[in-house]
């Protein structure tokens, strides 16, 4: 019975210590986050709680170029994934996997109820598989898609530019 009581006390103290560290960590993270409390809402130090006049029209006009740049970045990442692909031998076959991306499927800018611009774009992440008897044959093979993930990215407008 003494062991059970000591164990319970140990667990209680451990839980209290973990909880106090968690509270301190969250408080420190909130202090360093760049946000200040405004009632129950948070406001950026660099923006007000209402949208600036004309900012939605400016943001909407800038979003297609942002989407094109995002698509370029995805293609650059795909090339980097392909060049960094690791090859493995499986039952006499050289195999490799990499992550690729479709073109941007949708690129939309909408206005929130409070007037803030919100940008969304969608694309598909494609998991590719390459295989061949030799490494050269595998590298020359047509990539076969083995899985895909439909992806939606959300962006916010920060005064004069779109940010992730």
From the list 140, 150, 126, 132, the residue with the least C-alpha distance to 92 is 132
Q: What is the pTM of this model?
A: 0.65
pLDDT score recorded for residue 55: 86
Give the integer Cα–Cα distance in Å for 115 and 162.
15
Render pLDDT for 48-104 as a digit per residue (tens, 0 to 9).
Answer: 445 565 689 999 999 999 999 999 999 999 999 999 999 999 999 999 999 999 999
Would you place residue 127 in the very low, low, confident or very high pLDDT band (cuts 50, 70, 90)? very high
Q: Is 35 left (phi over 0), alpha (psi -120 to 50) or beta?
A: beta
> Tens digits of per-residue pLDDT, 37-56?
333 333 344 444 455 656 89
As a whole number of Å, the end-to-end CA separation of the chain is: 56
CB atoms < 10 A from the CB of 67, how many?
A: 22
């Amino acid at each position: 019975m003494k062991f059970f009581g000591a164990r319970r006390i140990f667990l209680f103290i451990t839980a209290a210590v973990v909880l106090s560290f968690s509270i301190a960590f969250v408080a420190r993270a909130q202090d360093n986050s760049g946000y200040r409390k405004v009632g129950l809402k948070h406001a950026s130090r660099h923006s007000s709680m209402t949208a600036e006049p004309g900012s939605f029209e400016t943001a909407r006009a800038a979003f297609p170029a942002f989407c094109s740049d995002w698509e370029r970045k995805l293609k650059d990442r795909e090339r980097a994934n392909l060049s960094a692909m690791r090859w493995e031998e499986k039952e006499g076959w050289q195999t490799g996997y990499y992550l690729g991306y479709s073109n941007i499927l949708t690129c939309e800018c909408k206005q929130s109820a409070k007037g803030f611009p919100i940008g969304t774009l969608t694309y598909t992440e494609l998991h590719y598989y390459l295989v061949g008897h030799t490494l050269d044959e595998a590298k020359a093979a047509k990539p076969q898609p083995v899985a895909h993930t439909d992806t939606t990215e959300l962006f916010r407008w920060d005064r004069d530019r779109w940010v992730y």
